[in-house]
Amino acid sequence: MMFRFQPESVPPEWRRHMLHYSDLAYKASVAKRRGAIGLIVVTGPNAEVKQQLIELEMEAKNTSSSIAAISISDDLASRILAVADKDLARLQQQLDKGEPMQGFAIPGVELAADLAILREINQGRNVIARLTADVPSARSPVIIGAHLDHLGRGEISGSLAREDERGKVHHGADDNASGVAALLESAQYLVDMKKAGKLGSKRDILFAAWSGEELGTLGSNHFVDQFSGGDMLHGKVSAYLNMDMIGHLREKLYLQGTGSSDSWSREIERRNVPVGLAIATKDDPYLPTDSTPFYMKGVPVLNAFTGAHEDYSSPRDRADQLNYQGMQKIARLMAGITRSLARSESEPDYIEATRKQSGLSRKHLRAYLGTIPTYGQDEDTKGVKLQGAVKGGPAEEAGIQNGDLLIGLAGVEVETIHDFMHALGGLKPGEETEMIVIREGKRLTLRVVPTSRD
Ligand SMILES: [Zn+2]
């Protein structure tokens, strides 16, 4: 029987350090190595969570561990522990101090559980169309794509629905109907051009709508596997352009993955002349979207993105929130780049970049603030620029506003998003701490009480 999370009544540095070991999958593998045949996971009364029981659906998805696990209520755990004269809350208090503690046996208790893993098998379909070169060609095609799946009613994964929105349809207007609409617009534009005899393409162009992106880029992965036959895609795919969330154009369009090829900056500059978008480029080619399976196989990639927002991954991501003129311009730019690549004799060069490790992922974080960082701020700004706070979240309660520049959290100086994640790792739900922001040139200290992410 084990607690979720980690010791919490310890200094923030300890919490940050121990976060890495608090993941349930990690604990399960340690238990298994030590000879456990099963796990009983308990939350405990001190953890301040929303739900005592864990939704195992998500945890079971990507693992094939052979250790059996159940999650039980604090009440049931207390009754089991009572047999050994132990008190759940007291045990948790002791463990929360972070001091090593021996495990103990509970003699005379026998537990039985019926466990069944339901492996749900579903079918998704990629939809792919081909616009052939002017003269049939063996040259590698240019591919442009967008994912067509979303979160359903939020039962799959990754829903950020608020309590009162649970189970409602997640429309996915920005993520990613916007990308699919731009894909169709680009296809129409290029087909019209071909009809008018103005396309001049030396390569085929593939238009791909991917399935299963939200579950982990399943559709694009499948395509890449099939198309590459396990080899690299040099010479088989010239370049891959992706559009994921392009419906909220504000000041700038972010073009990500420019570190994947030296050709991008010149290409973007030229094709943007007739469109005139304000563009910020981002080098890092390791992106959480369908471009990454291509990049991993040696293909230069470019992803168009207009930034995260408060309605992201929730039933509030609706069609009336979209910037349609912006989408049209982005579609035109991406079609222009696609055309230019299809007219070229040569493939753009490919650059292999090393992966930047941020160390902590969101799923390891214990505490929740509900800040919404501005995506793709200027690289020389020291601090994390916020575009606001999630309604009803701790940061909003603390008074965070659109435009605040976060420079400190819980005694940690925040210069980058990585510093911010690092500081978040040290927070304890329910324990007040301070955020330091710059607002209109003035330095403000705000008091904030983080809540539990779970
Ligand atoms: Zn998406």
Whole-number Å distance, alpha carbon 8 to ligand 1 midpoint, is 34
Per-residue pLDDT at 362: 62
Whole-number Å distance, alpha carbon 386 to ligand 1 midpoint, is 21
The top-scoring range by mean pLDDT among 211-220, 274-283, 407-416 is: 274-283
| Global confidence as pTM | 0.74
Can you read off the two tokens belonging to residue 105?
Answer: 């046996």
Average pLDDT, the chain: 89
List of domains in the chain: 2-96 (no CATH), 127-343 (3.40.630.10), 362-452 (2.30.42.10)
Instruction: Give residue 43's Cα distance to chain centre.
Output: 26
Q: Label the pairing between strands 451-452 and 442-448.
A: unpaired
Whole-number Å distance, alpha carbon 175 to ligand 1 midpoint, is 5
Does residue 357 carry a pLDDT above 80?
A: no
Whole-number Å distance, alpha carbon 146 to ligand 1 midpoint, is 8
List the end-to-end C-alpha distance of the chain, in Å, as a whole number.
20
Q: How does pLDDT run across 374-431, given as a tens digit for each residue?
A: 765 666 678 888 888 888 889 999 999 988 999 999 988 888 777 888 888 888 889 9
Distance CA 181, CA 361 (A): 31
Distance CA 190, CA 336 (A): 9
* Contact status, residue 77 vs residue 55, Cβ threshold 8 Å: no
Whole-number Å distance, alpha carbon 219 to ligand 1 midpoint, is 13
Whole-number Å distance, alpha carbon 313 to ligand 1 midpoint, is 9
Residue 299's Cβ-count burial label (10 Å; 0-12, 13-18, 19+) is buried
